[in-house]
Amino acid sequence: MSDNSRKFDLVAFDMDGVLVDYLSSWTWVHDRFGVSNEESVISFMDGDIDDMEFMRRDIALWIKHRPGLALHDVERELAMLPINPGIGMTVRALQEKGTRTVIISGGLDLIAEKLARQYGFDACWSNGLEADGSGRLTGEGVLRVELCNKIKALQEAQRMFGASPERTAAIGNSSIDVSMFQGSALGIAFNPIDEEVVRGAHHVIRGPCLSAVLDLLL
């Protein structure tokens, strides 16, 4: 149920480039391992492979580089990801108004769920890595957020918290976040990396601190 004392019932945050100061948590692991997925990116953007195959190819690069790779190995690399300032302030200010805050990211759940716990987000949707009983990666991914259809996860969040699109805001930095903007009353491009997200957003904010979005959300 909405409350007239707040602007929004739900605010959805992308993670990569918004909460973390890096293009992608997947790319961070690639860079740490010294591998490149450029060919897979092109195949995905051309529509030749789907999200699941994209993840499989990324994970295969890691396992080839480090046979026997386990979840804790990836988690250790992700622990060094730089985090943008102002997350805690932003989440607290919104929740004080009764606004629900969620993470919706095609990035890795190993870091997304950690941030959700650390900063008190109400829920998190992100993609994972399948592991066997010993924690070793099987080579399969766990798909929860389709990169080109993030609105599906947003709609799940809206149903979960009883928030209408008219009472929802979304924050992202790239073209894959535009579908979330389309399912929201307010779309904010935070430090945008391409022109498509700028065109799809209602507002653009550039700066080092996430709390700059509060002027639009409160």
The first and second tokens of residue 185, run together, are 């009353």
Same domain as 88, residue 73: no
**SS3 track for 134-201:** CCEEEEEEECCCCCCCCHHHHHHHHHHHCCCHHHEEEEECCHHHHHHHHCCCEEEEECCCCHHHHHHC
Same domain as 66, residue 16: no
The last residue of one of the domains, among 58, 78, 98, is 78
148-177: burial string, b at 16+ Cβ within 10 Å, e else: eebbebbebbbeebebeeebbbbbbbbbbb
Tally of structural domains, the chain? 2
State the Cα–Cα distance between residues 115 and 81, nearest whole angstrom. 11
Q: How confident is the model at residue 16, as a pLDDT?
A: 98
Same domain as 72, residue 117: no
Residue numbers of the domain that contains 151: 10-23+82-217
186 falls within a domain: yes
Say if residues 62 and 35 touch (Cβ distance below 8 Å): yes
Which residues have a Cβ under 8 Å from the Cβ of 131 and sit 6 or more positions away? 70, 71, 137, 138
143 falls within a domain: yes
Same domain as 52, residue 137: no
135: domain CATH number? Answer: 3.40.50.1000
3 falls within a domain: no
pLDDT tens per residue across span 183-204 = 999 999 999 999 999 999 999 9
Percent of the chain with pLDDT over 90: 98
pLDDT tens per residue across span 62-74 = 999 999 999 999 9
Same domain as 121, residue 41: no
pLDDT tens per residue across span 133-159 = 999 999 999 999 999 999 999 999 999
Same domain as 154, residue 95: yes
1 falls within a domain: no
Q: How confident is the model at residue 5, as a pLDDT?
A: 83
pTM as predicted: 0.96
Q: Which residue has the higher pLDDT, 53 or 3?
A: 53
